Structure 1
């Protein structure tokens, strides 16, 4: 009896043997983070170039700390391991409002993971088809900056990058509404992510909370290839906090559009006017949201008349209402989870027909 117990004790670790694969092995595919890079801690998912750290917020049009979060970013990988574990770390100095992850198999959301900002991030899940290769997509949080350290899988199993054909890209330009304020730290609940799924495009969320029209970003749009769609929803912070006049707003917007069109001559660019908001006017200038809306519609009409037929206008206030706003807050502008989902549906109705033309 002692012999069999000893043998079982020896064999047990072999039956449950695991191996650790560091992030540096690149056994996964990164999507939504154009400028990702390996650091001593692991893989850092960057939506914006590292050089932006050298610029002031006034030059960027947004706060770089918020820009270093991972809204819209995902990693895809294929494995036949019966169990998979991923370890992440969030730098102490980084923006961190908690970390919400979502696991997809195909188009189906199969599991959600939520971590408070003080919790270690360890994500573990079982293969629904043990022994068979399954391809996963793990969507990262919108308001933290998790660095991937490693994977842990069964010792005799494999882990490899997802080699499926890359989808055409969708660039979402905007501020906190597009970044995801109002949907916790859940990228997968933001309207750009939901819209990308509906349109079967790969989201690259270039929105930043507190953002204004960014000349620096406009000059880096050329870094992205295979872009089918770009949406621009920006102006609330220009109006309320920066106090731009209508003329200043339209001039800055026009310059951004010129850079965007130069980088992407045939991409469908959708300019969305300010959504429904409880804010009646700028306390700095007394300018109303409607003044920005009318001016933007006129700008798009003018550029279409000049020949840009791939530029389109959507009246954001016409497809949103107070029902879209966060129900748990007096917040005058940000979408709740229902509001973001409904907004994505309304956008799909107007954008989908344009993409087949």
Structure 2
């Protein structure tokens, strides 16, 4: 089958990176960031969509094609059937740099808002993403899928043969976090802070960050336990405060339990526990985070108080203190466990000059800043410590 001089590529000749499971469908393939057994345990409709979205997922291949065409069935979250969806962004990288980008509007919608959390799918037509003007020399590419969309890859077409990517030794980084790590308010698939850090250091990223759902879920811990990794990071705290879902009594053993599960599968792999970045409304006050009723735009404020923290509810400051204590206790017999204060990635001084646009989520500038700092503080030392071939 061909389209405008492009020939269809056997999808078995491409590699899918950043997914934990590849579902072969009647139409093509669907990357998943949770395995099937874990997906049935997802507890709410919001996480069903966000965990299906393609944050950090990319297609890897080699080709001398000057033109590429990707056909997908894409599903994006929307509040209703009538609102106009923005184009979802796809990026092509080579050697860690973006060499081309394209956009396509998702054909299907996942109807969800917190005022109307139906979680219904309205199916629509496939979307086609086109890249043109590529160099006519064999190049190894990664095609980054949009972090905003759940994607089924239906076809890849090219005007030259496509081969699997070369296998090269690399550090495998496995990360779990919240919408901040998923990419909410980032401006591109490679603009999420984990992608920025991965591309800067050449590591292979699997990003198990799920918007609204970094809740220390046991099925996430077991998924990570069973995945190959050379370094693991766990960024936890803000979603627990957002939803006011735990008290300190439950939080401490939940962190220990998550780490115990990771160690079952990764006895000596470096694990970095990352505490929350700066978020002024819930630094000292307890959650939940709620929308400021005096504003028309998104603007988060604390729903709890400082006194609530004294009674056992969670603030970001309380979480940072607890995480530091837990890691200090465990690291006495686990030398490969480390703590990174999230304020080193984005703190109060940064907030004065680079404020969060909705008082909660980093914009593109802060996403890049966090990625650059994580690369320098965590990933680059690990990469440099790898034995040279």
TM-score normalised by the chain length of structure 1: 0.84
In structure 2, the gaps of 5 or more residues are 80-84, 108-124, 287-302
**Aligned equivalents of 1:308 and 1:269: distance in 2?**
10
Q: 1:1-357, aligned counterparts within 5 Å?
A: 17-21=5-9, 23=11, 26-57=12-43, 63-91=47-75, 98-118=87-107, 121-126=127-132, 128-130=134-136, 132-154=137-159, 157-184=160-187, 186-211=188-213, 212-225=215-228, 227-280=229-282, 281-282=285-286, 283=303, 285-286=308-309, 287-305=314-332, 307-321=333-347, 323=350, 330-351=357-378, 352-353=380-381, 356=384
C-alpha separation in 1, matches of 2:99 and 2:184: 24
Distance 2:63 2:341 in 1: 45
How far off is 1:99 after superposition?
A: 2.0
Q: Deviations over 1:314-341 (max 9, x none)?
A: 1112431364699797522211111011
Greater mean alpha carbon deviation, residues 42-51 or residues 89-98:
89-98
CA deviation after TM superposition for structure 1 residue 56, in Å:
4.3
Correspondence for 2:82 = none
Q: Flag the 1:268–1:254 CA change in 2: closer, same or farther, 3 A.
A: same
CA gap of 1:330–1:193, structure 2 versus 1, over 3 A, is closer
| Gap change, CA 1:42 and 1:324, over 3 Å in 2 | farther
Check 1:97–1:304 CA distance in 2 against 1; reply closer, same or farther (3 A cut): farther
Between Structure 1 and Structure 2, which shows a larger proportion of helix residues?
A: 1
> TM-score by structure 2 length?
0.78
Q: Once the 2 structures are TM-superposed, how far is the Cα of residue 269 of structure 1 from its aligned partner? A: 0.8
Listed one character per residue, the Cα deviations across residues 17-42 of structure 1 (whole Å, up to 9, x for unaligned) are 4422353xx12111001201111222
Measure the CA separation in 2 of the matches of 1:219 and 1:326: 39
Kept after mapping to 1: 8 A contact 2:21/2:35: yes
Q: 1:89 to 1:268 in 2, by over 3 A?
A: same
- Matches of 1:262 and 1:250, distance apart in 2: 19
Shift of 1:94: 9.4
Match of 2:121 in 1: none
Counterpart of 2:280 in 1: which secondary structure?
A: coil
Q: Which runs of no fewer than 5 residues in structure 1 stay unpaired?
A: 1-13
- Helix, strand or coil: the match of 2:230? strand
**Relative to 1, partners in 2 of residues 1:103 and 1:37: Cα closer, same or farther, differing over 3 Å?**
same
Using the TM superposition, give the Cα deviation of residue 168 of structure 1 relative to its aligned residue in structure 2, in angstroms: 2.5
Give 3-state SS (helix, strand or coil) of 2:61's partner: strand
Contact 2:103–2:129 under 8 Å retained in 1: no
Q: How big is the shift at 1:181? A: 0.9
How far, CA to CA, are the matches of 1:325 and 1:89 in structure 2? 41
Check conservation: 2:32, 2:52, Cα contact below 8 A.
yes
CA contact (8 A) 1:127 1:134 kept: no
How many aligned residue pairs are there? Answer: 333
Encode CA deviations 1:189-210: one digit per residue, 9 max, x unaligned: 0111111122321000001001
Structure 1 residues 94 and 39, CA gap change in structure 2 (3 angstroms): farther
